Amino acid sequence: MNKILILFGHPAFKRSTMNTAMRAAVESLKGVTFHDLYAAYPDFLIEVSREQDLCEGHDVIIFQHPFYWYSTPAIIKEWFDLVLEHGWAYGASGHALNGKLTFQALTAGGGIENYRAEGLNQFTIRELTTPYQATANLCGMVWLPPFAVLGIHQGLPDTARRRYAEAYRRTLVALRDNRLNLDRARQCDLLNQNLDTLISEV
């Protein structure tokens, strides 16, 4: 069984609807550690050794967050800046994250039609998240495309919200139990685009 660490960053969690549903769907799953960074570090004083220990104790590391200015909320950037130390995460003797699976679970206000070359934002979610992919590569991690819930500002109905939360839970259970086809997943634009073709049922 793979151990999963979710590093969660949402500065306005009380007003959240989508991340609330996703969190509720996975927080108490066996094998999952849910770590709320804004709750743990309201003053942004991230405890580097604690975070490194947490990473070392898990096989899958997920960054769950709303998309903010085509990127992550500030605490996740701060986490990268402080925790991914030379000699630990990368460099000649930095192998702590080697072989660990990683992906972003993100929610965005804009719909998929905005995330196209000819759309409002001119770039796809996959393109906009390439810095994260490059970071994972440098650290020798096994990168997967983002699990993305888009179009939240277009008034996502409760049924859709529940469906996304359930798909998130299903993804994590499959990863935990080694039932997600990683090679095929890496070819997808978004991890949750075609889950039925990626997950083998027991």
Ligand X SMILES: Cc1cc2nc3c(=O)[nH]c(=O)nc-3n(C[C@H](O)[C@H](O)[C@H](O)COP(=O)(O)O)c2cc1C
Residues that bind ligand X (CB under 6 A): 16-19, 66-70, 107-110, 152
Q: How far apart are CA 63 and CA 36, in angstroms?
A: 10
Cβ nearer to ligand X, comparing 31 with 109? 109
Smallest gap from residue 36 Cβ to ligand X (A): 13
- Answer for the pair 151, 111: CB distance below 8 angstroms, yes or no: yes
The least CB distance from residue 67 to ligand X, in Å, is: 4
Phi then psi for 118, rounded to 5 degrees? Answer: -95, 5
Of residues 94 and 123, the one with the C-beta less far from ligand X: 123
CA distance 96 to 100: 9
State which residue, 52 or 192, has the beta carbon closest to ligand X: 192
Query: Shortest gap between Cβ of 12 and ligand X (angstroms)?
Result: 6
How far apart CA 106 and CA 88 sit, in angstroms, is 26
Q: Closest approach of Cβ 154 to ligand X, in Å?
A: 10
Q: Which is nearer to ligand X, 9 or 141 (CB)?
A: 9
